[in-house]
Amino acid sequence: MLTVDFDRLGLRPGDRVIDMGCGAGRHAFEMYRRGADVVAFDQDADALAEVLDLFGAMKEAGEVPAGAEADIKEGDALELPFADGEFDRVVASEVLEHIPNDIRAIDELVRVLRPGGTMALTVPRWLPEVVCWKLSDDYHNTPGGHIRIYSDKELIGKAVNAGLEYDGIDYAHGLHSPYWWLKCAVGVSNDQNPLVKAYHQVLVWDIMRARGWSTLTRGAEKLLNPLVGKSMVLYFHKPE
């Protein structure tokens, strides 16, 4: 389930890219499949070990083009261990809402992006996130949880102040907003609720592209994304 549109990002084979806060690696894997030289960066050593294992499995299975490279790096988003201008593309998906000093993190992302390079920043969208916070304190009052709700104007302003130029916005995962509203209403840990279980199954069918359901859910999400897409995706470039 990808949030970033890599065609819009301008990703090309051979690009050196960083997936900052990669988590389980979904975006890093797709960039690797597209022939990029990928660094999956996170502070979770266990998650990174699993990402590295899957990088190896992808290569053995012939899922990546010849010459593509992928590696992991553990570290702090506020002190990226990379040279200035090292990366052609930067992705930070669903990360900044967790970081207290988000301005410092954005500055670091801009620093390691080469002039002319592009960046995608994704965060929870303002309205769906506000609804979740109103319905449930447990949704965000957890260690390492969401500490802020961004408006598009706020995040664009922070990125532009750090030296980027704004290229546009998309919205993604419209089917996921109602799912999270439902979870927040019945209890975020209440996965056995019948409605939650049924909705989760629909999302699984969608991700697995189940025959019949895929066409229905893709169409529904396309309609819902502009209205209640769970994530907003902001695209930028660093001036030459």
Buried b (16+ CB within 10 A) or exposed e, 201-214: ebeebbeeeeeeee
Mind giving me the DSSP string for 131-172? HHHHH-STTT-STT-------HHHHHHHHHHTT-EEEEEEEE
Residue 24 lies in a domain: yes
Burial of 26 (0-12, 13-18, 19+ CB in 10 A): middle
**Residue 204: predicted pLDDT:** 81
Residue 107 lies in a domain: yes
Do 20 and 90 form a contact (C-beta atoms < 8 A)? yes
Structural domain that includes position 155: 6-125+132-173+229-237
Residue 26, Cα to own-chain centre: how many angstroms?
8
Residue 180 lies in a domain: no
Helix (H) or strand (E) holding 189: none
- How many CA atoms does the CB half-sphere of 57 hold within 13 Å? 7
Residue 23 lies in a domain: yes
**Residue 233: predicted pLDDT:** 98
**Residue 214: predicted pLDDT:** 63
Q: Between helices 176-186 and 213-228, what is the axis angle to 10°? A: 80
Burial of 113 (0-12, 13-18, 19+ CB in 10 A): buried
- How many CA atoms does the CB half-sphere of 219 hold within 13 Å? 5
What CA–CA distance (Å, rounded) separates 189 from 16? 39
**Residue 213: predicted pLDDT:** 53
**Residue 219: predicted pLDDT:** 81
pLDDT tens, the chain, 240 aa long: 899 999 999 999 999 999 999 999 999 999 999 999 999 999 999 999 999 999 999 999 999 999 999 999 999 999 999 999 999 999 999 999 999 999 999 999 999 999 999 999 999 999 999 999 999 999 998 888 899 999 999 999 999 999 999 999 999 999 999 999 999 999 999 999 999 999 998 888 777 764 445 667 778 888 999 999 999 999 999 999
**Residue 8: predicted pLDDT:** 97
Tokens in use for 202? Answer: 């629909």
Task: Compute the C-alpha angle 87/91/93, nearest 5°.
Answer: 160
Residue 98 lies in a domain: yes
Residue 145 lies in a domain: yes
Residue 21 lies in a domain: yes
Tabulate helix, strand, coil % of the chain (nearest 5).
45, 20, 35
| Structural domain total, the chain | 1
CATH number of residue 59's parent domain:
3.40.50.150
Look at strands 113-124 and 231-237 and give their pairing: antiparallel
Residue 85 lies in a domain: yes
What CA–CA distance (Å, rounded) separates 80 from 88? 15
* Full-model pTM: 0.94
